[in-house]
Amino acid sequence: MPQEVERYRKPTRILHWINAGAFVLLFLTGLILFIPQLGFLAQDSWTRVIHRIAAVIFVIIPLWYLLSNWKASWKSIKEAFTWGAEDIGWLQAAPRYYFLNDKKGMPPQGHMNTGQKMWWLIVIVFGTIFVITGAIMWFAKTIAPAAVLQWMVFVHDIAFIVTGCMLFVHIYLGVLHPLMTEAWGSMARGKVSAEYAKSHHGKWYEEVTKGKEVKS
């Protein structure tokens, strides 16, 4: 059996999949508003009810995770906002790497590479924007001035476009990209091979294996 390293603990993976499910529901029930031909699906407010149920899950589950894993979560959130020379290096080297499998100039990456960090940052920032604008549209619908509600829709939809497009990129890299052979396994089973970890997250691999043998 090849050597493996753990990338995501079980609670993290459960959080990921519950939130992924909620987000896809939110995405699809929101997308209908962009496609008038599918308007019949939204009749009698069904998609609005689903959108709200998914929204509650989308808020409650991460909050619960955040509070029960406060230290790790806080570290991870801080990491999303910490950018350095290695990230610039990644950004410069990324196009050649992701198109041509050319690793030249690609700095060794930590547990999150810069691309993943970018996605994580977008999730934090736009997730918060989603929740704030969504809560105003939900609970202040009958009291807020019409213009406020309209601009909330505007901001909500900018977040929708940004996160929706990045979701495509995220799913693509996790499932389809020819080089990301073990990305799916890392979130499905939680483990990747030592070889994959070394080549994709060199810096992190050094950290977790420093001074000890990797368990097989």
Q: Are 29 and 41 in contact (CB under 8 A)?
A: no
- Regarding 101 and contact with another protein (CB under 8 A), the answer is yes
Q: For the CA atoms of the chain, what is the radius of gyration?
A: 20
- Regarding 142 and contact with another protein (CB under 8 A), the answer is yes
> Could you give the 3-state DSSP secondary structure of residue 142?
coil
- Regarding 169 and contact with another protein (CB under 8 A), the answer is yes
* CA proximity to 136, closest of 49, 55, 215: 55
The residue range among 14-22, 42-50, 75-83, 118-126 that interacts with another protein, by the rule CB under 8 A, is 42-50
- Regarding 150 and contact with another protein (CB under 8 A), the answer is yes
Judged by CB under 8 A, which of 149, 188, 194, 208 binds another protein? 149
- Regarding 93 and contact with another protein (CB under 8 A), the answer is no
- Residue 160 CB, nearest distance to another protein (Å)? 7
For residue 66, the Cα-to-chain-centroid distance in whole angstroms is: 15
How many positions of this chain bind another protein (CB under 8 A)?
44
- By beta-carbon proximity to another protein, the closer residue of 85 and 146 is 146
- Regarding 49 and contact with another protein (CB under 8 A), the answer is yes
Distance CA 119, CA 183 (A): 14
Largest CA distance in the chain: 63
- Regarding 81 and contact with another protein (CB under 8 A), the answer is no
- By beta-carbon proximity to another protein, the closer residue of 137 and 194 is 137
The token pair at 104 is 């030249």
* CA proximity to 156, closest of 124, 131, 191, 187: 131
Sign of the CA dihedral with 177 first, then 182, 183, and 189 last: positive
The residue range among 5-13, 16-24, 57-65, 172-180 that interacts with another protein, by the rule CB under 8 A, is 172-180
- Regarding 103 and contact with another protein (CB under 8 A), the answer is no
What are the helix (H) ranges across 69-113? 70-80, 85-100
Judged by CB under 8 A, which of 5, 22, 51, 107 binds another protein? 51
**Plot region of 200 (φ>0 → left; ψ -120 to 50 → alpha; else → beta):** alpha
| Interaction site with another protein (CB under 8 A) | 32-34, 36-37, 39-40, 42-45, 47-49, 51-52, 98-101, 138-139, 141-142, 146-147, 149-151, 153-154, 157-158, 160-161, 164-165, 168-169, 172, 176-179
